[in-house]
Amino acid sequence: MEVLNQFPIRTQLFINGVFVDPIKGGKFPSYNPATNEVITEVAAGTKEDIDVAVAAAKAALYSENWGLKSTGAQRAVILRKIGEILVERKEWFATLDSYDMGKPIREALADLGDAITACEHFANLAEEQDKHQNEVIENGTNGDFKTEILYEPLGIIGAITPWNYPLLMGIWKVIPAIAAGCCMVLKPSELAPLTCLALGDVVNAAGLPAGALNIVSGYGPDAGAPLAEHDDIDKVAFTGSIPTAKKIMLGAALGPRAISLELGGKSPLIVFDDADVDATVDWIITGILWGSGQVCSATSRVLLQKGIKDRVLARLRERLDTIKIGNSLDAELMTHQGPTMGPVVSKGQYDRILSYIDHGRTVEGLNFFYGGEDAQANLKARLGDGYFITPTVFIDVPTTSKVWNEEIFGPVLCIRDFETEEEAVRIANDTIYGLAAAVFSADLVRCDRIARNIRAGVVWKNCCQPAFVQAPWGGYKKSGFGRELGRWGLEEYTGVKQITSCASGFQWGLW
């Protein structure tokens, strides 16, 4: 833990370029989920702080050195500097993320790698946008009118981010917003706010003008709701649950203002008889145990063609037996060469996941393939007060089951078999969600056919869970709308203006 002494752990709000106490003086505890111990007390922002933060963002938007007056080249310099600072502080940020949220350090380091890549990618996109400023388009008037296109910052963004990727989800919103020249008020989850608050030091060191990024920690009703409802917010960007999204949409409708939502899913993973068993099982484990299953795209519904089912299950048990579960910052876990899993983020999440497991066992009478009461009790006895949950696998799960249909957001896998491709596609699409899906087969033509028939925003063929900053991320149906990352992510924060002029001497001639 000595690495955390390298830089201050920020607990105040970050508004207009400085760290400040909340106006009402409130605080809330941030816990280490591996031990249930309080790490620190964090500033609890309220509507009053949101008002000050939005005013700072508005001033920056209309200032002479940022926002509407800035260029893509200017923004790119700052983005690359942010990336350089993240490289220098990579181990520190990863350790703090692991400490605050519970994910294994190797996962946190992977998140930092993605964050650093995003800085360079969006710097390039900002520079590319400059090349298209004032582009003249054909308007069909044979020169009587001239129409130019101008790309501008969309305005002031209210961003509300989740706890499962504390820093990375902040980066997914902050970096493209900066690339577009927007100004932002970021409200990180109260369950893991520390790395987002530390971004204040990073953007200051990178030379981002004061007010361009403001960070207000706090509870959803006290800080998130006032942010979504604020009259000066031009767009709300949210990642989280459907119930919270509905509240945010109501707040945004008061504007009305733009909104983008990424709301998770219940993603299917389809395995055909000709798939490579060993490789497929490794991807299955990645799809459900990365982040202890607390991943919006987790492939928690697995469909096995009948001819391969027994071989996949046998290999799955072997691999699950090799997983090391424990405190993500313990030396034993950090040096373990096989799969590792840390705790879930909080007691509320812990209780919620266990309630689904208990429902599957006692109410629905589902078949345990892996996990169960004894395994969970042994884990509790070994690891104490942390929020650790043993991987749990139900097999032969009916499609009417609650645990098959509802997003559990934990290390709980549901498996059933199928016979035909048509049946697999039908079952996969029979969900309210549409974020992601995966298909495994040696027949690449079939993989491509399945990918095009699955109603999801992201489909993986013979792999599971890779995400690239160059590619769009987002879903269909109740998994939300709008896209993050790639040029599509920049477009979410960009306003497009036409400027049309009349040729000298032209007369409209309508009256």
Q: Which residues are catalytic?
A: 262, 296
> What are the tokens at 238?
């949210």
Residue written as token pair 């003008």: 209
- Give the pairing type, strands 258-262 and 480-481: antiparallel
Q: Is 164 exposed, middle or buried (0-12, 13-18, 19+ CB in 10 A)?
A: buried
User: Using omega within 30 degrees of 0 as the cis cutoff, is the peptide bond preceding 256 cis?
Assistant: yes
Residue-by-residue DSSP string for 52-71: HHHHHHHHHHTSSSSGGG--
Residue written as token pair 């459900």: 288
Best CA proximity match to 238, nearest among 49, 411, 449, 479:
479
Q: C-alpha angle 398/404/406, rounded to 5°?
A: 145
Euclidean distance between CA atoms 330 and 411, whole angstroms: 21
Best CA proximity match to 223, nearest among 477, 46, 469, 423:
46
Residue-by-residue DSSP string for 419-446: SSHHHHHHHHH-SS--SEEEEE-S-HHH
Q: Are 19 and 12 in contact (CB under 8 A)?
A: yes
DSSP character at residue 212: S
- Between the alpha carbon of residue 391 and those of residues 212, 388, 495, the distances in Å are 42, 10, 45
